[in-house]
Amino acid sequence: MRCFLAAAVIAVCWPVCALSSETLSGPYDAWILRVIDGDTVEARVRIWLGQDLTILVRLRDINTPELRAPCPGDRAAAEAARAFVAGLLPKQGPVRLTAVSHDKYHGRIDAAIELPSGQDLASALRTAGHARPPSGCAG
């Protein structure tokens, strides 16, 4: 019975696991609705003709300081990162999402964001000193 149960779990979970590692190359046009923090925005993404999806987008391959950090200096750095991102994003018009994949949190995706100028947002954050490559820690 245990073997049957294990086989049933694998059969049910295998497609989900395979899908969770899937990456869509894009590009997808997205209009930024608000900046959550230095590495997360809320966006309305055009996924098909006449079909938009509002979702949280986390920048791939970077980490910025957390707004809820216990240290005042870290919170100030987080505010600076958020302000930097808000200043780079267009007030109107789309950005482009590429390399879209599942995020570890439900309801959020990971993606690269290309600004209308062609500049990569994560690279701009790193160059300005507001972000670093991700560590092995959950964040």
The domain ranges of the chain are: 23-127
Beta bridge partners of 59: 111
Residue 42's alpha-carbon distances to 16, 27, 74, 99, 127, in angstroms, are: 25, 17, 22, 17, 23
From CA 19, how far away is CA 3, in angstroms rounded? 25
User: Right CATH number for 23-127 from 2.130.10.10, 2.40.50.90, 3.40.50.620, 3.40.50.360?
Assistant: 2.40.50.90
Are residues 52 and 121 in contact, defined by beta-carbon separation less than 8 angstroms?
A: no
pLDDT at 11: 39
Supply the pTM of this predicted model: 0.79
User: Residue 64: which residues within 8 A CB-CB, separation 6 or more?
Assistant: 37, 38, 39, 77, 78, 81, 82, 125, 130, 131
Task: Determine what percent of the chain is predicted with pLDDT higher than 90.
Answer: 68
Residues present in the chain in total:
139
What is the band of 10 on the pLDDT scale with cuts at 50, 70, 90? very low
pLDDT at 137: 44
pLDDT at 5 over 80: no
pLDDT at 18: 43
| 32-49 pLDDT tens trace | 999 999 999 999 999 999
| 68-116 pLDDT tens trace | 988 998 999 999 999 999 999 998 889 999 999 999 888 899 999 999 9
